[in-house]
């Protein structure tokens, strides 16, 4: 594969050369659009000494572009059968390591120690959409040095990650991600940019992990449990949804008193609350319990 030859025909030819077809079950929609590829790597702002983790390299279209710009690239691919194509396409790059494994099962602490030492890492990926959220949460929740994450994901999920309180797309995942990272929208991508074409539109997003959360939370487990509970029954008011969850540790009257003390309406719904309000409510409940 020449550096720029990743047309639809080339993808088909390379796969059939190994007797392969794209695996829907692994989210294999290969990128075939030059402009999108460049937008992904440009938004990663790579330097000669950058360390990059790629998730799901597939046939290596993105990996090659990353290898051209970064000092070291490690790519984790679950599909053993595609490795011959990937290895062939990357043979000229000695600073690329391929790891055959499931990114959700890989021990990221060990992987980072082995391939990147103590250096900060930039993650770049055209993700398999069936596991987008677990991958993002694993990257953000593991205690590893990640300086930025550039991802191609389903457009609908991208909207949820960046959504603000009160909007239709806002939910528990918006809060969980925005607590840990700043979310930037890079561009939308039409299905025609892939082979085979997915049924949905996609978006490229850039997440910049925060050095510290934007709000002060006394008990993170309680904070996230409160958020989950508030969004578990979206049609109910915040008080009704949360007070029916015994593990939050507060009854209806107590919750009403907390909202009133914070100057919040007792009839509000969870989707109208932002990070700051969730933190204040959680902290007030936690303090009451002490
Ligand atoms: N990076 C390539 C591109 O842009 O053309 C392929 C992207 S394709 C959307 C997703 C890739 O992730 C596939 O190669 C698929 O085999 C791989 N994959 C799926 N599940 C995975 C997992 N759990 N761990 C690692 N790779 C996975």
pLDDT tens for 74-102 read: 999 999 999 999 999 999 999 999 999 99
Q: How far apart are alpha carbons 51 and 115 in whole angstroms?
A: 9
Give the C-alpha distances (Å, rounded to integers) separating 181 from 117, 222, 246: 23, 20, 30
Q: Which residues contact 197 (CB under 8 A, 6 or more apart)?
A: 29, 191
For residue 52, the surrounding DSSP H or E stretch is strand 51-55
Backbone angles phi, psi at 236, to 5 degrees: -85, 160
Q: pTM here? A: 0.95
**CA-based torsion, 271, 273, 274, 277: positive or negative:** negative
pLDDT at 37: 97
Write the residue with the smallest CA distance to atom 18 of ligand 1.
Answer: 56
- Does residue 76's CB lie within 6 angstroms of at least one atom of ligand 1? yes
DSSP 195: E
Answer yes or no: are the C-beta atoms of 76 and 97 closer than 8 Å: no
DSSP 180: H
Q: How far is the CA of 232 from the centre of ligand 1 (A)?
A: 31
Res 23 pLDDT > 90:
yes
- Does residue 171's CB lie within 6 angstroms of at least one atom of ligand 1? no
- Does residue 60's CB lie within 6 angstroms of at least one atom of ligand 1? no
Q: How large is the greatest C-alpha to C-alpha distance in the chain, in angstroms?
A: 68
Quick check: bond before 168 cis, omega within 30? no
pLDDT at 289: 79
pLDDT tens for 65-80 read: 999 999 999 999 999 9
pLDDT tens for 220-277 read: 999 999 999 999 988 899 999 999 888 898 999 999 999 999 999 999 999 999 999 9
DSSP 109-148: HHHHHHHHTTS-EEEEEE--GGGHHHHHHHHHHS---EEE
DSSP 271: G
Mutating to test ligand 1, I would choose from 54, 58, 111 the residue with most ligand atoms within 8 A of its C-beta, which is 58
**% of residues, the chain, pLDDT over 70:** 98
Residue 60 in tokens: 């290596």
Quick check: bond before 196 cis, omega within 30? yes
- Does residue 102's CB lie within 6 angstroms of at least one atom of ligand 1? yes
Write the residue with the smallest CA distance to atom 10 of ligand 1.
Answer: 128
- Does residue 220's CB lie within 6 angstroms of at least one atom of ligand 1? no
Q: How far apart are alpha carbons 63 and 74 in whole angstroms?
A: 9
- Does residue 78's CB lie within 6 angstroms of at least one atom of ligand 1? yes
pLDDT tens for 102-160 read: 999 999 999 999 999 999 999 999 999 999 999 999 999 999 999 999 999 999 999 99
Q: How far is the CA of 99 from the centre of ligand 1 (A)?
A: 12
- Does residue 37's CB lie within 6 angstroms of at least one atom of ligand 1? no
pLDDT at 107: 98
* Order of strands, sheet of 121-126, starting from the edge strand that comes earlier in the sequence: 96-100, 72-77, 51-55, 121-126, 146-154, 202-209, 181-189
- Does residue 56's CB lie within 6 angstroms of at least one atom of ligand 1? yes
Res 22 pLDDT > 60:
yes
Residues pairing with 146 in the sheet: 121
Mutating to test ligand 1, I would choose from 128, 133, 137, 203 the residue with most ligand atoms within 8 A of its C-beta, which is 128
Stretch 19-39: mean pLDDT, rounded? 97
Q: Which residues contact 161 (CB under 8 A, 6 or more apart)?
A: 136, 153, 173, 174, 177, 178, 183, 205, 207
Res 170 pLDDT > 90:
yes
Write the residue with the smallest CA distance to atom 17 of ligand 1.
Answer: 56
Q: How far apart are alpha carbons 98 and 253 in whole angstroms?
A: 56
pLDDT tens for 2-20 read: 455 678 999 999 999 999 9
Answer yes or no: are the C-beta atoms of 286 and 222 closer than 8 Å: yes
- Does residue 11's CB lie within 6 angstroms of at least one atom of ligand 1? no
């Amino acid at each position: 594969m020449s550096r720029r030859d990743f047309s639809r025909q080339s993808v088909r030819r390379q796969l059939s050369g190994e007797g392969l077809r794209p695996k829907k079950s692994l989210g294999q929609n290969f990128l075939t659009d030059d402009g999108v590829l460049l937008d992904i790597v440009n938004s990663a702002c790579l330097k000669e000494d950058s360390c990059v983790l790629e998730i799901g390299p597939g046939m290596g279209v993105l990996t090659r572009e990353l290898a051209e710009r970064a000092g070291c690239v490690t790519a984790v691919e679950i599909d053993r059968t595609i490795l011959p194509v990937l290895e062939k396409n990357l043979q000229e790059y000695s600073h690329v390591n391929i790891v055959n494994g499931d990114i959700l099962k890989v021990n990221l602490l060990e992987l980072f120690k082995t391939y990147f030492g103590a250096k900060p890492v930039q993650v770049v990926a055209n993700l398999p959409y069936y596991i987008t959220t677990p991958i993002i949460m694993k990257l953000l929740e593991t205690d590893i040095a990640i300086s930025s994450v550039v991802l191609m994901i389903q457009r609908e999920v991208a909207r949820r990650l960046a959504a603000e309180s009160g909007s239709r797309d806002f939910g528990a995942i918006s809060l969980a991600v925005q607590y840990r990272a700043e979310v930037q929208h890079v561009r939308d991508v039409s299905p025609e940019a892939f082979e085979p074409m997915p049924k949905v539109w996609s978006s490229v997003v850039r997440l910049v992990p925060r050095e510290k959360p934007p709000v002060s939370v006394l008990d993170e487990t309680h904070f996230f449990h409160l958020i989950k509970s508030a969004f578990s029954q979206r049609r109910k008011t915040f008080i009704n949804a949360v007070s029916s969850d015994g593990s939050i540790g507060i009854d209806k009257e107590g919750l009403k008193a907390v909202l009133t003390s914070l100057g919040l309406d007792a009839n509000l719904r969870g989707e109208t609350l932002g990070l700051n309000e969730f933190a204040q409510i959680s902290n007030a409940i936690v303090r009451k319990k002490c």
